[in-house]
Structure 1
Amino acid sequence: MKKKGKGKGARERFRSFRHARSAHVLLYLLLSAIMFGLLFIHVKPESLNLDLFSVSDKTIYAPATVEDQQATEAKKQAAEDAVEDQYTLKKGYTDNRLDLITSIFDSIGEVKQDADKDKKSPSEKSLVKAVKSKLTQDVNESISEDAITSLLHANNEDFSFVRDSVITAVNTVMSSEIPSEKLAEAKEKVAKELKSASVPSKYLSAATEIGKYAVIPNYVFDPKATDAKRQEASDSVQPVQIKQGQVLVEENDLIDREVYRKLELTGLLNNSNLLKPISGLLLMIGLFIATLVYYFEKQQQELKLKNKSLLLFSIITTLILVIMEVVSLFQKIEYTNIGYLVPIAAGAILFRLLLNERLAILGSIILAICGSMMFNQGVTGTFNYVIGIYYLISSISGILFLGKHNARSKILQAGLFVSFINMIIVLSLLLIQNTALSPVEIGTLMLMGVVSGLASSVLIIGLMPFFETGFGILSTMRLIELSNPNHPLLRKILTETPGTYHHSVMVANLSEAACEAVGANGLLARVGAYYHDLGKTKRPQYFIENQMNMDNPHDKLSPQLSKNIIIAHTTDGANMLRSYKFPKELVDIAEQHHGTSLLKFFYYKAKEKGDQITEKEFRYPGPKPQSKEAAIISVADSVEAAVRSMHNPNPERIEKLVRGIISDKLQDGQFSECDLTFRELDTIAKTLCATLKGIFHSRIEYPEATKKVK
């Protein structure tokens, strides 16, 4: 007894939680915490305890992309060193040296001219001395006295020829680049130029001496140009990076100084900076939660439904994340592609079955992103975009294939379809990456995709009953189970109220056809119709369809008492369904199928007796139909009872009756709280008429056929 009390208390607390206004806030926080806990280990930088010159017990990858400044500087220095010294051709040097030659010859010419004017005929020595006094010390040290003496004795014509020849030779040679190391070669070129210029032999030595002296290096080192070139070479060097995922050291390799330096550089030895990965993960999870908040706040107004849907979403998300986390453990032991095995489509299809298509797509995107982080092939902080694409396409294909149906066979078919799509995705991604895998390895990955799809369908079928029971969710499988004639309540209706059972089956046929015609849930309407009059089993003899070969007990009751008995069958039925833990949708149909309609027969009977009554006393307590299915069942219920009591029905009378009943309910406001349109009401009328013609075919009197018989 204590256990039962505890269980009941737990259920009450859970029910209170679902209705609590703060529950959805707590669920958002809880989901955030779960996601953070499962994903953090995949973004947290790894910290290793390794010694220099020890042997690595595993292959270590760079956790992030970092610049290796030391290697970059070395590469820049190498680029600078590879640049040769830059030289510049100094054209001004040629002009200066030609001016120098002219100056030398002018000095000699002036002395020579003065000597010619002097009547005393100065000595040779004094003439040479006079020339040297006009020249610079460098020239005097470089040009011999013999050369000066030789030119002093030249006549004016030869003197001018020698001068011009030296200038031409030096100009020719110095028009080309003359680096320091090639100066001697340039001087010899001057000598050859003078020789080829046919300088008289007695002046050739002097001319050659002056010409060689005049030639100097004109291709000189340019420090500015050299520095600029070296800077350009240095700037062109791209930073050396250690790429995220790059192998730093192989398993069983020695950790030398260079490897140790790279381990330090990537933060693997002293990793204390967790701010960035934590901030990034929190931002991403915050984005996920913000998207969910936006959806639930905008799309679902009722707090109870909001909490229930969010709790379901959180449970499914957590379940798939836990499965991914468990599977991801194997990627650390060389199964780097184990992620293809995860039954990712199970999450998407569960979202679709238990929630809706929008949340299914949103959940698929979230799980795909999380999966790309978890299956990062052992490199923390990276995203495996390939597995992310695989997860997303696999999930979306399952959602699209399932459509609006969720029968067990359809789920199995969806699993097979996802398996086929997974094979194509895996193969296409491998081909796009141009992966160097053997046919056996490719086949293994494709087989993983097949297993993923099949495992998804098995997981869904296995979990659905738990979700349906725990959350009172109505699925096709649950509806099919409840439509089984051997269900205790259906057997109760059949055995205790056979007339009601037959009526319910007829209403089920009518309701299902009408619902399918307007896009409502036909199976829900059928099963709801089976149970809508369950409350009549409490007092079966008070309902006309069960009064076989017996007096009508209402003849002996007051209209007020009869009214109470008839009206009670809606609440009695709803309470009985609740006691059997029936889904809310079916309970609502039993409670709402009469809405707040007036029990006209007993109302007018009471009026005839002169009782002081109000119309409200003889109306059902409601509520009015809240769904299309409940509204359609209310119409089908009235139509079936009316047509059954009709004598000699024909198509025209049936249609008039059907449209009259719909019109009465519409004018009475019974459809004011459901979203049926006038067009849908017209479609419902046509569908009910067509179905009734089929059901009562043998009883319908067709006007044209009657005329022919007559």
Structure 2
Amino acid sequence: MNSINEICSKNKEGINAHARIVFSFAAIFIFLILATASIFINPFIARTNLRNGDVALRDVYAPYDFFYTWGKNEKKTAEVIDKAVENVPYFFKRDTQLEEKIYRKFEIFFNALSKQNYLSVDNIALNTPEDNSGFPKVAEFEPLRLINSFGLNIDNYEYMSLRHSTEILKDAVFSTLSKLFTDGIIDETSRKLLNEEKDDYVVIFSDMETTAPRLSESLIDFSLVDEKIKMHVKEYFEEEDEEFINAIAGFIQSGVSSNVIADKERTSEEEKKIIDNIEPIYNVWEVKKNELILQKGSRINERHLAEIYEITELVKRGKTKNFLEGMLLLFVLLGMVLWIYMAFTYKVNVLNNTRDIVIILTNIFFVLLVADIIIQTPLPSYSIPFAGSGMIIMLLLGFGPAFVVSVIMGILVAVLIGGTVSLVIVFLSGAVVGIYALRNARRRADILWAGIFAGLIQFLAVITVGLINDINFAVYFSDAFWGFLGGVSSAAIVMAGLPLFEYIFKIPTNISLVELSDLNHPLLKRLAMEAPGTYHHSIMVGNLAEAASDSIGANSLLVRVGAYYHDIGKINKPQYYSENEMGEGSKHAGLTPSMSALIIGKHVKDGVDIAQKYKLNTTIIDFIKQHHGDSLISYFYQKAKEEAKEDLIPDEETFRYMGPRPQIKETAIVLLADSIEASSRTLIEPSVANVRNLVKKIINNKLIDGQLDSCDLTLKEIDKISESFIKVLMAIFHTRATYPDESKKAETQKTENNGKNKFRKFK
């Protein structure tokens, strides 16, 4: 039976451990997402707090040297625009209709020339009517006059040079015209315009295409077009003489004209596009550290806003991919530090402590969120209630985690604000003092005093930083005041948030324990009224357990409160327990041992039910569950063995408490104190030797029975606990002078007790 229960218990523990690890990873993942998102809060929150025309409520000094831009620099902006405009090419429109007309003129001419080139000069006559082409109609006329009629002016010699090469001439003419039109022929007015504008580049465009910018020198002046024509003609007639080349060049030149026209409107449009894309050049102003930026009572203008905005931007981190990656890596590095600390402190898998992980991450996230909001407002960074989270962790988890987390949060906040060491010094000083001030906190007022102490230390720390950095007195004194308010506001946050943490995570703090230790608590008053013997027993157990706890450095307040409530299950049937008999005799006299054991053992389950009804913390409920462990109800077991027949041995498991065994030192101390206090009342001669023997015997029995196996008490600690029990019991059973009549009374009482004690040895 035992082995099956142990196997089931181990399987359940394994499943629970796996679930806790999963929840821990989920909590860490959610924290990373939320913490990173908190850094990227809208950066314009701060700018909405101050507006143009508002009245300044306080002086604002520059916290460091910086530069800012304000006011357009007209001269530099104009220089940039002029330089940009100089690089804009001048646009020329290509007259494709004119080019087509010139091509057609030469085409018609060559068609006519091919029909009439055999006629002599005397046989040609000119007919003036025009056909639909717009050129003179050709009948019978002299070829030279035909040429002249098309506006192609050459003399007889040149004509005679052309007669023998009509087809070659046609190819040369059209090729030359194509090259000329592609290069672009400009008139004298366009060239003069280019010189005035000092444009080195031009762009030629038409309805079909736009060329890339090219040197304006590549355009052909009309006055120099004959040279270009001769150059192109020579490519066709390399072996001809100069006169022949000149004749053809003159023939082509007589038919061409400029084909590109300067488009001033298009050029202006392109310049405007460039100008519109140019960012204005602003004046750069320098501000020195401690310089008065804004005077109290003055009107805020745009320049003030520019200066203040620059300060807020300097302390903001960039919203870039690199910054995001850096922050995530910083979270990982600081998380590793926290992981190592917790691994050494708890000496188990850190991820099994899901509750502690969630508490720590929640507090870190809260500080990051508040810090990111405050640094985007006009409030100084020292007003951040930094110490609050450390104080909450101190009350919930202890000094060690609170200190380590405060260091980690200090680094994170400093990086978020601007990486200043002075900020870490101020925040960490206040947090450590606030944590230390709460080491023995028993009242809500202690939290307020801890916040005041933290604020005072932050006040002094800011002044220290101001003196070291030689900051203006008014500046650092104002910041120091805000640092003090940051400490006080931390206390307010702790008082508001602590009950929420206690409720959600079921952790009793010293403050809530003090409230539970009040003997006017409804449940304790009920215990005193309905089971006065058990009430007195619980108070005595509390005294014993508290002293034992102090001797080994355990949580003595938790132990005392746990002892007060450990036996509340006896309220349901108080008369069945020896301390509540009140001389009426034992209720177990007519019951079987198994029934008596069932009633005695049931007070553990009844206690859990009552505690849950009164909404006691789960930690206190653990004292109720574990204050007997799974120990044997030995009196009724022995009685059952005596009454049983020889072949029927009673099952030991039915005479054991439901358990579990104590899991922590505090519950183990209450288990020992409970047994020792109950047994000590049976001592007739409470001498030091008798008390010592009793204590040693009970503790040894519990060790042998394995009731202390599940907690981390050491033998050295058990020895200290034993000595503390002896001291307290001897103080209770202190000796005094015995009077004659009391001696007789004591002897009579001894005789009576010998008959009654047989029912006083069970719990």
TM-score, normalising length: structure 2: 0.56
Question: Is the aligned partner of 1:247 residue 2:68?
Answer: yes
Equivalence map 1:190-589=2 (5 Å): 245-249=66-70, 256=77, 274-293=320-339, 299=346, 301=348, 306-331=353-378, 338-375=380-417, 382-403=418-439, 405=441, 407-435=443-471, 438-589=472-623
1:696 is aligned to: 733
2:35 is aligned to: 35
Structure 2 Cα separation of the partners of residues 401 and 502 of structure 1: 34
| Contact persistence 2:35–2:369 (CA under 8 A) | no
Number of residue pairs the alignment of both structures matches = 469
Structure 2 Cα separation of the partners of residues 475 and 625 of structure 1: 20
- Change in Cα spacing, 1:251 to 1:504, as seen in structure 2 (3 Å) is farther
Equivalence map 1:103-118=2 (5 Å): none
For 2:376, what is the secondary structure of its paired residue?
helix
| Contact persistence 1:348–1:399 (CA under 8 A) | yes
1:80 is aligned to: none
Identity of aligned residues (%): 33
Which consecutive unaligned segments of at least 5 residues does structure 2 have? 1-15, 47-64, 81-312, 744-763
Question: Residues 445-503 of structure 1, C-alpha deviation per residue, up to 9 Å, x if partnerless?
Answer: 22112212222222212221111112111100111111122222112211111110011
Question: Residues 483-535 of structure 1, C-alpha deviation per residue, up to 9 Å, x if partnerless?
Answer: 12222211221111111001111111111111111111111111111111111
Question: Residues 609-642 of structure 1, C-alpha deviation per residue, up to 9 Å, x if partnerless?
Answer: 1253132332222211112111111121111112
Question: Is the aligned partner of 1:607 residue 2:644?
Answer: no
Structure 2 Cα separation of the partners of residues 303 and 427 of structure 1: 40
Question: Residues 313-333 of structure 1, C-alpha deviation per residue, up to 9 Å, x if partnerless?
Answer: 2221222222223322223xx
Which consecutive unaligned segments of at least 5 residues does structure 1 have? 1-15, 47-64, 66-244, 260-266, 332-336, 376-381
Question: Is the aligned partner of 1:653 residue 2:690?
Answer: yes
- Deviation at residue 405 of structure 1 after TM alignment: 4.8
Amino acid of the structure 1 residue aligned with 2:618: K
Structure 2 Cα separation of the partners of residues 542 and 448 of structure 1: 63
- Change in Cα spacing, 1:277 to 1:258, as seen in structure 2 (3 Å) is farther
- Deviation at residue 411 of structure 1 after TM alignment: 2.8
| Contact persistence 1:594–1:634 (CA under 8 A) | yes
- Change in Cα spacing, 1:366 to 1:456, as seen in structure 2 (3 Å) is same
2:57 is aligned to: none
Question: Residues 638-685 of structure 1, C-alpha deviation per residue, up to 9 Å, x if partnerless?
Answer: 111122222232222122211221122122222111122222222112
Greater mean deviation of Cα atoms: 503-512 or 668-677:
668-677
2:293 is aligned to: none
- Deviation at residue 396 of structure 1 after TM alignment: 2.6
For 1:28, what is the secondary structure of its paired residue?
helix
- Deviation at residue 605 of structure 1 after TM alignment: 0.8
Amino acid of the structure 1 residue aligned with 2:368: L
| Contact persistence 1:397–1:418 (CA under 8 A) | yes
1:157 is aligned to: none
Structure 1 Cα separation of the partners of residues 351 and 525 of structure 2: 33
Structure 1 Cα separation of the partners of residues 338 and 388 of structure 2: 20
Structure 2 Cα separation of the partners of residues 370 and 258 of structure 1: 46
Question: Is the aligned partner of 1:676 residue 2:706?
Answer: no
Amino acid of the structure 1 residue aligned with 2:25: V
Structure 2 Cα separation of the partners of residues 648 and 39 of structure 1: 72
TM-score, normalising length: structure 1: 0.60
Task: Please state which structure has a larger fraction of its residues in helix.
Answer: 1
For 1:247, what is the secondary structure of its paired residue?
strand
| Contact persistence 2:692–2:726 (CA under 8 A) | yes
1:623 is aligned to: 660
- Change in Cα spacing, 1:509 to 1:252, as seen in structure 2 (3 Å) is farther
| Contact persistence 2:371–2:413 (CA under 8 A) | yes
Question: Residues 545-588 of structure 1, C-alpha deviation per residue, up to 9 Å, x if partnerless?
Answer: 11123231211110011011111112221232233332222111
Structure 1 Cα separation of the partners of residues 32 and 425 of structure 2: 23
Amino acid of the structure 2 residue aligned with 1:644: R
Structure 2 Cα separation of the partners of residues 416 and 422 of structure 1: 10
- Deviation at residue 302 of structure 1 after TM alignment: 7.0
1:109 is aligned to: none
Structure 2 Cα separation of the partners of residues 603 and 482 of structure 1: 36
1:687 is aligned to: 724
Structure 2 Cα separation of the partners of residues 32 and 249 of structure 1: 38
Structure 1 Cα separation of the partners of residues 319 and 579 of structure 2: 79
Give the CA RMSD over aligned residues: 3.5
| Contact persistence 2:342–2:350 (CA under 8 A) | no
- Change in Cα spacing, 1:410 to 1:273, as seen in structure 2 (3 Å) is closer
Structure 2 Cα separation of the partners of residues 359 and 565 of structure 1: 44
Structure 2 Cα separation of the partners of residues 490 and 523 of structure 1: 16
- Deviation at residue 300 of structure 1 after TM alignment: 6.8
Amino acid of the structure 1 residue aligned with 2:34: I
- Deviation at residue 597 of structure 1 after TM alignment: 1.7
Amino acid of the structure 2 residue aligned with 1:452: G
Amino acid of the structure 2 residue aligned with 1:247: Y
For 2:435, what is the secondary structure of its paired residue?
helix
1:632 is aligned to: 669
Greater mean deviation of Cα atoms: 611-620 or 291-300:
291-300
Question: Residues 35-90 of structure 1, C-alpha deviation per residue, up to 9 Å, x if partnerless?
Answer: 1112235999x9xxxxxxxxxxxxxxxxxx9xxxxxxxxxxxxxxxxxxxxxxxxx
Question: Residues 361-412 of structure 1, C-alpha deviation per residue, up to 9 Å, x if partnerless?
Answer: 332233223322443xxxxxx4333323322232233234434656534433
- Deviation at residue 279 of structure 1 after TM alignment: 2.4
Structure 2 Cα separation of the partners of residues 691 and 458 of structure 1: 40
| Contact persistence 2:387–2:427 (CA under 8 A) | yes
- Change in Cα spacing, 1:500 to 1:349, as seen in structure 2 (3 Å) is same
Question: Is the aligned partner of 1:591 residue 2:625?
Answer: yes
For 1:330, what is the secondary structure of its paired residue?
coil
- Change in Cα spacing, 1:304 to 1:491, as seen in structure 2 (3 Å) is farther
2:193 is aligned to: none
| Contact persistence 2:459–2:484 (CA under 8 A) | yes
For 2:632, what is the secondary structure of its paired residue?
coil
| Contact persistence 1:369–1:388 (CA under 8 A) | yes
Amino acid of the structure 2 residue aligned with 1:339: S
